Chain A
């Protein structure tokens, strides 16, 4: 049996790297007192995985961790135990028990929703570019990869984009191994179009999404 846990990352803890968060959870699951399943091998560790890494500096209300249990456990008891093992700035938001055959969250993720808040006087000018951006079919972007830089068409990676107010936009971006774009890159493209320097962006993740049986986007926890 596995527990899928959705938790948030509050502003105070946005400086924890993904690697540090993984280490943190290794100890946190020990604190839960739940029957955690351990890996085999020379260096056994609790069996768990994350839906998607959250970049340093971002906040979120949709982080998903998948923890394998060695014995059946009720949803409520699991939720209470996990909540007690986490600090208040990593709030537990949703818990779902699934069987071992359920696909790993990481394998289900296709896209992610974000709210991006921009700082400074350039923000309105940058946000004005949204309609023009949506009308284009090709927006060339330079993406940094491990092997260097490569040119991509960013436009199809932006599934939805709308202005929220004079300082923020909401967007749905592709998030798969082969096709993904980070919100900061999108801010950079909009700023280039506006001909201004990219403003500082505060990124908040609203949801991780996969595809349901009908091929439509659906929140990860509902799949």
Chain B
């Protein structure tokens, strides 16, 4: 029986068999004998999550635009399928051709979230690939990218290459290099040494890490004679109009999380929110032109048949030509019944009239993220929005016929006090009053306010990388404080979670290589899909840390001195450590930093020659 038939025999007994089916419209099929490089792209989560991800779509089509390479998709099989695959000795396979992953030349893995790390170990094991780079004598080279690649240290022993920054060009370079390496018939280690010279490529095995007596990192240096750079600068695509972007998108059969056209209107963000890693690592801001976006939208609408275009970015209201873009999009696509949506709505941007028009159809909840309950704390995190902004935004929305508002906050931000937490309940009460200030005949019935409070996770490459995460007991105390305060505000639904998942996330976000062993132990004990609360096993994680001799508090809860060497310091994310430190110090004085569109704030991106900011 062929592998394909054996896979299909399992599909009748698992949840959502379409996850493993392939054969979607616009999926790329090639003759395996007609290409030199077989590239497997793993998204280490379910099909529905991975297929909603824009970065994977971009790289999939960029690689497949080459005649010499074929990129196929791989997703983490859900636990039911993974267990059946093991029992039936079915290796991890690609969706397009159902080829075992271990038969590919390169295996790209995107790191979107620390809590998907164990899924990578699970995937390698299911594929029959040795977990550790040093144990691999054959099989695909493993290349990780994505936001967590800016601190890949906990994964260091498992991966071969790490692609830092924008993937469009560096991915192609790793493929070009693979062809050269294969043609030259060089040993495996030589590919790693050669790859270390590609801009943005970091090869963890070529670096030595030393530690101080207190357990902090003393130094990370290239191994003598390795030729690896002392500091790896992130790869940067300077002109997005010239960058690869798919003209076609795979259209899945089942429902996925974001089932629509995603149009990335710009990359980067100028706001400088101090908790936000994306706002730092994706700098500088690079906009696509309206003309280019219109052309992209045209080809995507006709090639997919989707009825919605989402204008994606970190802060879409900031797009400099938004009124023009929105107007032209609506004008162009209204007759085709294609909706235009703006997912990332900030409370300090006024909805343009055109977008109000497009959103008339579907009034889902208005989602706003004040992040903190008091002005003082919002200044600490440099959120740059005021209560007046919020009041104006929700009143406007209630007048337009919205009746549901979701408010997102974080608990445990640096300098937070009980008073800041109680401020969240005050804001909720004010939102309620805004609703009742709109005359009854003009507002939609049924006010619903959802307050959602996540636990803050300090991330590498942000001004809060020096901050401790708030301890478990205090988080629980403040959650209860807020719950009680909100119970007095009518019509509010409060959502919060146990802080244990965020704690493990905090450990890995600022972790070092010594965590790899604990991660492997946790996976061997059965940890996988940690980001899914029904799968997450806090008890096993604590046991794994204990057995590995790791104190997780050291990584999550320790205040870090400003002169500490961080495990990721040798990876240049674009903004400088000096800038982050200035921002950390300003945060403690609750001093704001302006949006850098209004004047350069000296983050360091000018070193890359890709930022027009004035000094």
Question: In the complex, A30→B336 CA distance in Å?
Answer: 9
Task: Check if B304 sits within 8 Å of A31, measured CB to CB.
Answer: yes
Among the 9-residue stretches B14-22, B456-464, B602-610, the one with 4 or more Cβ atoms under 8 Å from chain A is B14-22
Q: Kindly identify which residue among B11, B18, B306 contacts A20, using a CB–CB cutoff of 8 Å.
A: B18
Given A12-B23, A87-B23, A89-B23, residue A20 in contact with residue B305 (CB < 8 A): no
- Across the A-B interface, the 6 shortest Cβ-Cβ residue pairs: A30-B305, A27-B305, A31-B305, A15-B17, A12-B23, A87-B25
Knowing A28-B305, A89-B23, the reply to whether A16 touches B251 (Cβ < 8 A) is no
B25 adjacent to A28 (CB under 8 Å): yes
Interface size on A, residues (CB 8 A): 25
**Interchain nearest-CB distance for A71 vs B (Å):** 14
The CA-CA distance from A24 to B254 in the complex, in Å, is 8
Residues of chain B lying within 8 A (CB to CB) of residue A57: 12
Q: Do A16 and B253 touch (CB < 8 A)?
A: yes
Across the interface, do A23 and B337 meet the contact criterion of CB distance under 8 Å?
no
A residues adjacent to B (C-beta < 8 A):
11-13, 15-17, 20-21, 23-24, 26-31, 33, 38, 44, 56-57, 85-87, 89
In the bound complex, CA of A38 to CA of B255 (Å):
22
| Set of chain A residues within 8 Å of B301, measured between Cβ atoms | 30
CB distance from A105 to the nearest CB of B (A): 22
| Chain A hits for B306, CB < 8 A | 27, 30
Min CB gap A10→B, angstroms: 8
Most A Cβ at <10 Å: residue of B8, B21, B251, B253: B253
A87 to B21, CA, bound (A): 13
Q: What residues of chain B lie closer than 8 Å to A13, measured between beta carbons?
A: 21, 23, 253
Cα distance A21–B18 when bound, in Å? 11
Cβ of B24 under 8 Å from chain A: yes
How far is it, in angstroms, between the C-alpha of A11 and the C-alpha of B22 when the chains are bound? Answer: 12
Contact yes or no, A12 B302, CB < 8 A = no
18 contacts across the A-B interface (CB closer than 8 A): A12-B22, A12-B23, A16-B18, A16-B254, A24-B253, A26-B305, A26-B307, A27-B305, A27-B306, A29-B305, A30-B305, A31-B303, A31-B305, A38-B337, A44-B337, A56-B17, A85-B25, A87-B27
**A44 shortest CB reach to chain B, Å:** 7
Give every chain B residue within 8 A of A12 (Cβ-Cβ): 21-23
B307 and A20 within 8 A (CB)? no
A17 CA / B12 CA spacing, docked (Å):
12
Complex interface residues of chain B between 228 and 275 (CB less than 8 A to chain A)? 251, 253-255
**Considering the chains assembled together, what is the distance between the CA atoms of A91 and B305 in angstroms?**
18
Q: Interface size (B, Cβ < 8 Å)? A: 24
Q: Inside 8 A of A21's CB, which chain B residues have their CB?
A: 253
* Bound: A29/B305 CA distance, A: 7
Contact A24 B251 (CB under 8 A): yes
Whether B253 and A20, one on each chain, are in contact in the complex, defined by CB atoms closer than 8 angstroms, is yes
Report whether A20 and B304 are in contact in the complex, using a CB–CB cutoff of 8 Å. Answer: no
Give B255 Cβ to nearest chain A Cβ, in Å: 7
Contact B303 A15 (CB under 8 A): no
Instruction: Please give, as numbers and ranges, the residues of chain A lying within 8 Å of B25 by CB-CB distance.
Output: 24, 28, 31, 85-87
For A38, the chain B residues whose CB sits under 8 A away are 337
List of A residues within 8 angstroms of B337 by Cβ: 38, 44
Q: Which residue of B lies closest to A25 (CB)?
A: B305
A9 CB to nearest chain B CB (Å): 11
Question: Which residues from chain B contact A23 at a C-beta distance below 8 Å?
Answer: 253, 255
In angstroms, Cα B230 to Cα A165, docked, is: 71
Are B18 and A15 in contact, with the CB atoms below 8 A?
yes
Q: Which residues of B contact A87 (CB under 8 A)?
A: 23-25, 27
Q: How far is the CB of B248 from chain A (nearest CB, A)?
A: 10
CA of A37 to CA of B410, assembled, Å = 48
How far apart are A83's CB and chain B's nearest CB, in angstroms? Answer: 12
Residues of A within 8 A of B18 (CB): 15-17, 20
Are A30's CB and B24's CB within 8 A?
A: no
Given contacts A11-B8, A20-B255, A27-B306, 16 further A-B contacts (CB under 8 A): A12-B23, A15-B17, A16-B253, A20-B253, A24-B251, A24-B253, A26-B307, A31-B302, A31-B304, A31-B305, A44-B337, A57-B12, A85-B25, A87-B23, A87-B24, A87-B27
Asked if B304 contacts A16 (CB within 8 A), the reply is: no
Give Cα A44–Cα B339 distance, bound, in whole angstroms: 12
Q: Which residues of A contact B24 (CB under 8 A)?
A: 87
- Which chain B residue shows the least CB distance to A89? B23
Residues of chain A with a CB closer than 8 A to B303's CB = 31
Q: Which residues of chain B are near A28, meaning CB under 8 Å? A: 25, 305
Nearest A residue to B306 via CB reads A27
Residues of A within 8 A of B253 (CB): 13, 16, 20-21, 23-24
Report whether B21 and A15 are in contact in the complex, using a CB–CB cutoff of 8 Å.
yes
Set of chain A residues within 8 Å of B302, measured between Cβ atoms: 31, 33
Inter-chain CA distance A24–B301, complex, in Å, is 15
The docked-state distance in angstroms from the alpha carbon of A85 to that of B305 is 9
Cα A24 to Cα B255 with chains together (Å): 10
Interface residues of B in 301-338 (CB under 8 A from A): 301-307, 336-337
Return chain B residues, CB-CB under 8 Å to A86. 25
- Cβ < 8 Å to A, chain B residues 1-46: 8, 11-12, 17-18, 21-25, 27
Chain A residue with the shortest CB-CB distance to B301: A30
Chain A nearest Cβ from B249, distance in angstroms: 11
Q: How far is B337's CA from A38's CA once the two chains are assembled, in angstroms? A: 10
Chain B residues 365 to 381 lying within 8 A of chain A, measured CB to CB, are none
Q: Which among A15, A26, A29, A44 has the greatest number of chain B C-beta atoms within 10 A?
A: A15
Interfacial chain A residues near B11, Cβ < 8 Å: 15
Measured CB to CB, the closest approach of chain A to B323, in angstroms, equals 27
CB pair B251–A27 under 8 Å, yes or no, is yes
Within the complex, the shortest CB–CB distance from B266 to chain A, in Å, comes to: 27
Nearest-CB residue, chain B, relative to A14: B8
Residue from the list B17, B27, B304 in contact with A27, Cβ < 8 A: B304
Task: Kindly provide the distance from the CB of B391 to the nearest chain A CB, expressed in whole angstroms.
Answer: 31
List B contacts of A27 (CB < 8 A).
251, 304-307
Min Cβ gap A11→B in Å is: 7
In angstroms, Cα B435 to Cα A185, docked, is: 57
> How far does the alpha carbon of A27 sit from the alpha carbon of B260 in the complex, in Å?
10
With both chains docked as a complex, state the minimum distance between the C-beta of A43 and any C-beta of chain B, in angstroms.
8
Least distance between A134 CB and chain B CB atoms (Å) = 30
Chain A residues with CB under 8 Å of B336's CB are: 30
Residues in A whose Cβ lies below 8 Å from that of B27: 87
**Complex Cα distance A56/B304, Å?**
24
In the bound assembly, the distance between CA atoms of A39 and B255 in angstroms comes to 22
CA separation between A16 and B27, bound complex, in Å? 16
